[in-house]
Structures are given as structure tokens and as C-alpha cells.
Amino acid sequence: MSAQQKAPRSRQAATESAVNEVRLVGRVSQAPEERVLPSGDVLWTFRVVVARPAAGGRRTVDALDCSAWSSRVQRSVASWSPDDVVEVTGAMRRRFFRTAAGAASRVEIEVSRGKVIRRAGSG
């Protein structure tokens, strides 16, 4: 082993090896919605439903909230319909917001790429 291999990993090296990338293939549960934020920024939101492997549990699917911020992805998402099977890639993000009861958060996928695998009703 070289001296470099024996040296403990630095915090920077550990950070460089961290990856926040998610790939989902599932069906769009309802029509994507365009939202205009108070800042004037536009984003599209939608939900992807992904089947779980048959493991005998009560839950058979996961529904994941997704958001599209880039104009390229937004153009694609705008044409999606309920029950389209899509593939999305992006990063998991935790969003914080205020509610009447106080602060809350949720996790969503910030989509960097997306495409239709099969249109609804096309077999």
C-alpha cells in the first residue's frame, strides 16, 4: 500500500464521494401543474408512482413528489399526462415551509432530466 492509500480520508474527499442522484421509473399520477412562486419563478410539479417489489407488505406503491425548475425539463413535463410512464433523474431535496401550525418540511425530487417511456393508453 502506498502512503497515500494509508492516509485517512479527509472531509473533502468524503464530500467529493457523496452522491445525491435519484432515478425513478413510474407512472404520472395526475396532470403536472405549473406554479408561479411569489418571486416570479416558475416551476412544474407532479407526482410519480413507483411500484414496490412484492414483499408481502401492505403498501404496494410509493408516490414521490417531483419538481421541474429548468426550462428544458419544464417543456417536457408540460406534455405529460396521467398514467404516462416516465423516467426522471434528479436530486432529493428537503423543502421547508411555514404552516398555520408552525414549520413543516417535505422531501421531493428536483428533476434534472425526464422523458416519457410510454404514453398512457399505448399498451
Mean pLDDT of the chain: 88
- Asked if 113 and 89 count as a contact pair (C-beta separation under 8 A), the reply is yes
pTM: 0.78
Domains in the chain, CATH or no CATH each: 20-118 (2.40.50.140)
DSSP E strands in the chain: the ranges are 22-28, 33-36, 42-51, 61-68, 85-99, 102-118
> pLDDT per residue over 23-80, tens digit each?
999 999 999 999 999 999 999 999 999 998 877 677 789 999 999 999 999 999 999 9
DSSP string, 51-84: EPP--S-S--EEEEEEEE-SHHHHHHHTT--TT-
How far apart CA 57 and CA 28 sit, in angstroms, is 23
Closest CA to 30 of 86, 75, 72, 70: 86
